Amino acid sequence: MVDALHAWTLTNKMIPLAWAHSSAPEEWSGQLESDAGQIVEVLEQAGDYAALAAASRLVSIACAAAGRMEESADVAARAIEYATRAGDERQRRIAACHYAQVATYGPTPVGEVIAKCEEILANAEGDMRTQGIVTGLLGRLEAMRGDFERARWLYNAGRAVLEEMGQSVAAASTSLDSCAVEMLAGAPAAAERELRRDYDALSEMGEKVLLSTIVGELARAVYARGGYDEADELSRTAEELAAEEDVVSQALWRSARARVLARRGEHDSARGLAEQAVELVRPTGELVLHADMLLTLSDVLDASGEAAPARRALGAALALFERKGDIVSAASTRERLGSLEAGPIVQR
């Protein structure tokens, strides 16, 4: 059993190690969670709240890497509480920013995340990184509720704050939120512009971890605005860039290519890729991404004349959108359900 001082030392060593290997979560997340969990027990006995905040954030990172987004958000919330009790403002802000990210992408309902993000921003004076990131996340969340004017103002404001800090990966990846806003608003060309700007910036930096995700999203946006052949090419670029363990990027390129193949009449190949995309993201806890992959599967099935399975996929997507509180996506999914041949919807 390590003592409290040793636990604190280990925590400070493990944080940079976790981020250094963040592109390969399966190599470290399980061990990180186990080690950090043991450290938390020691620090709880010692009542060291500052160290508890750091260790809890490690557990939260590991949970997110393992695809348990809801648990990750709960642990991040505890990290905020620990940092507050310790009077450690820096750690409180870091933990709050992390919470906002995992709660936005995970199953925490939209209304609850918006309220928490607004609280985080109210206490983030002087912390430009937190202000920029959380403001952009709020843009995505407001778009889910249909307030596109406010959503666009928020993502532009968030990017402006991050750009004011200088060139960084954070500033060059804001399109991951702004593209979601524009796709929800039915403006894929605008989503494409956002993504291409960040693609150029990240390429210039030599950044690889987020680049594959940007290209995967770009392939989907280009397909949505009618650039089918280009979407196919972009999906192949994303496939080349994506690390094997990067399930988000792996799902995105499969989704884009599945749609292209279905349009070409290659239904078996399209269905195979679409089903793989669904299975890749199913364990992650990212409800909206999971639902989006189900929408792809539904469209692929419908294109091949399989109306009943297409309806089942749509029903499953609708349940996920409703659980998250994504009002816009839920409404459009209901409309799509109505356009298919009437029949029982079986949730899966």
**Residue 271 pLDDT:** 98
- Domain 1-105: assigned CATH number: 1.25.40
Q: Which range, 54-68, 133-147, 203-217, is most confident? A: 133-147
Question: Which of 197, 211, 285 shows the shortest CA–CA distance to 243?
Answer: 211
Using DSSP's 3-state secondary structure scheme, residue 256 falls into helix
**Residue 57 pLDDT:** 84
**Residue 245 and residue 249: Cα distance in Å, rounded?**
9
Q: Where are the domains of the chain?
A: 1-105
pLDDT band at 177 (very low <50, low <70, confident <90, very high): very high
Tokens 């307030």, located at residue? 147
Q: Tell me how far CA of residue 113 lies from CA of 10, 101, 116, in angstroms.
A: 31, 10, 5
Query: What does the pLDDT look like over 237-274, one tens digit per residue?
Result: 999 999 887 889 999 999 999 999 999 999 999 999 99
**Residue 36 pLDDT:** 56
Percent of the chain residues past pLDDT 70, beyond the cut: 83
pTM listed for this prediction: 0.85
Question: Which of 150, 200, 142, 145 shows the shortest CA–CA distance to 173?
Answer: 200
Using the predicted structure, report yes or no on whether residue 141 has a pLDDT greater than 90: yes
**Residue 19 pLDDT:** 38
**Residue 44 pLDDT:** 59
- C-beta of residue 124 within 8 angstroms of C-beta of residue 138: no
Query: What does the pLDDT look like over 283-292, one tens digit per residue?
Result: 888 999 999 9
Question: Which of 170, 211, 284 shows the shortest CA–CA distance to 292?
Answer: 284
**Residue 91 pLDDT:** 87
Question: Which of 337, 258, 251, 338 shows the shortest CA–CA distance to 303?
Answer: 258
**Residue 28 pLDDT:** 42
Residues listed for the chain: 348
pLDDT band at 343 (very low <50, low <70, confident <90, very high): low
Please provide the average confidence, as pLDDT, over all residues in the chain. 86
